[in-house]
Copies of this chain bind each other. A is one copy, B any other.
Amino acid sequence: MKKILAAAAAASLMALTATAGAFSKPVTIASQGSFTAGGSVAQAEGTFDNAKPLDPAGQTLHGDHAYVFYQKPVHPKKNAIVFLHGAGQSGKTWETTPDGRDGFQNIFLEKGYSTYVADQPRRGRAGQSLTGGIISNKPMEQLWYDNFRIGLYPDYYPGVQVKWDEGAREEFFRSMTPDTGAFDANVISDAMAAVLEKSGKAVLMTHSQGGGPGWLTAMKSDKVKGIVALEPGSGYVFTKEEAPAPMETSSPFGALKPAIVPKDSFEKLTKLPIVVIYGDNIPSERTEQWNLDNWRVRVDMARIWVDTINRHGGDARLILLPKRGIKGNTHFLMSDRNNGQIADLIEDWMKEKGLAE
């Protein structure tokens, strides 16, 4: 493996400084800070001896919690927004976009919502993991570039909603951060339910891999008043009786399987409004273009899932952006060039559901 110094980056990112993170007008913050929530504690057998600090006997390890940075504007709306990132990401995914514009953290703060941006257990600043883990340094970024429907690396899909020079593309790759322990939707949703105890009533906004833990969080916390799921990647929950068969795909991630939950848990998702949103370049027929087919099955399962929720008296909606004339969105709806338009679309849905007061 060869190593290259990233020399071009500094100059390119410098050019972004002038506009990066600039609210359209200054925002006044009443309070802000961070906290951890949830998690477990492990303790080694034996008794701690202060004179033998390198001996683990009796010592503890706190881990598997979430980390959250929150901001409350003056006169905030009654529902906060709690953000849960996707795979390979941290809370950074909601902050400044790779090309230096405001992300959803700033956009929704400016709209008047308190924001709670989480790093899930075993990711980012919530790195302490009771399982431990191995950090790989295998280069696999082009896999993700393709899978996120930006284009076929190094190209862009025509009309795609990103505006990247080399510096922005680099920033996109550097926004990724690895798992520090095994991904566990149950551990994550336990911690996120604890986050909701701190945030109070909130709309839970998830992205990609965060979708599955998001459904489980709403089952575990009555503080979740609505869910906005951006391109859920897996973990659609069904009762055993109603679960669809695994969906075959040319994607190397393999067949998409439903997650099985008890009926009373599933029913909880019929008690709050839910919107699921997918972007562009997702085919309706199977294709050997694996990076697109990967999302075909996800939209197919989303359709079945939304129907199932609604058949049980729920209020779920599936929005396919191209059907609304909104074209070119990648997997990262919240940082695409039209993220302001996407935020407005989400807030319109929140207003319709009485979540925006």
Interface residues of A (CB under 8 A from B): 1-6, 9-10, 13-14, 16-17, 20-23, 26-45, 48, 50-51, 53-54, 56, 58-63, 65, 67, 69-70, 74, 90-92, 95-96, 100, 102-103, 106, 119, 123-143, 146-147, 152-153, 170-171, 173-178, 180-181, 194, 197-198, 252, 290-291
| Cα-based distance from A48 to B170 in the complex (angstroms) | 17
Q: Knowing A61-B141, A290-B53 touch, does A32 contact B174 (C-beta < 8 A)?
A: no
Other A-B pairs, 12, CB within 8 Å; known A54-B143, A62-B173: A5-B40, A6-B62, A20-B33, A21-B34, A33-B95, A33-B102, A50-B146, A59-B140, A62-B170, A62-B174, A127-B177, A132-B135
The 6 closest A-B pairs by CB, nearest first: A21-B33, A33-B96, A127-B177, A132-B137, A36-B174, A61-B139
Q: Could you write out 7 A-B pairs with CB less than 8 Å apart?
A: A20-B33, A60-B141, A123-B127, A125-B177, A128-B174, A130-B137, A134-B134
Q: Least Cβ distance of A342 to chain B in Å? A: 18
Contacts of A291 in B (CB 8 A): 50, 53
Q: Is the beta-carbon distance between B21 and A70 smaller than 8 angstroms?
A: yes
Q: A178 near B128 (CB under 8 angstroms)?
A: yes
Q: Are the C-beta atoms of B60 and A142 separated by less than 8 Å?
A: yes
B26:A21 contact, CB within 8 angstroms: no
* Contact status B35-A31, CB under 8 Å: no
CA distance A53 to B250 in the complex (A): 12
Alpha-carbon distance A171/B198, docked complex (angstroms): 13
Contact indicator A29/B27 (Cβ below 8 Å): yes
Let me know if A127 and B135 touch, CB within 8 A: yes
In the bound complex, how far is the Cα of B206 from the Cα of A233, in angstroms?
A: 40
Give the Cβ gap from A282 to chain B, nearest Cβ, in Å: 17
A126 CB to closest chain B CB, in angstroms? Answer: 7
Partner of A61, one of B28, B51, B137, B153: B137
A27 — which chain B residues lie within 8 A by C-beta?
Answer: 28-29
- Min CB gap A25→B, angstroms: 9
Nearest B residue (CB) for A95: B34
Q: Which of B4, B65, B91, B146 contacts A125 (CB under 8 A)?
A: B91
- The residues of B that contact A1 with a CB separation of less than 8 Å are 42-45
Residues of B near A178 (CB, < 8 A) are 127-129, 180
Q: Please state if A6 and B42 are interface contacts (CB–CB under 8 Å).
A: no
* Closest partner residue, chain B, to A170 (CB atom): B62
Q: Is the CB of B42 within 8 A of A4?
A: yes
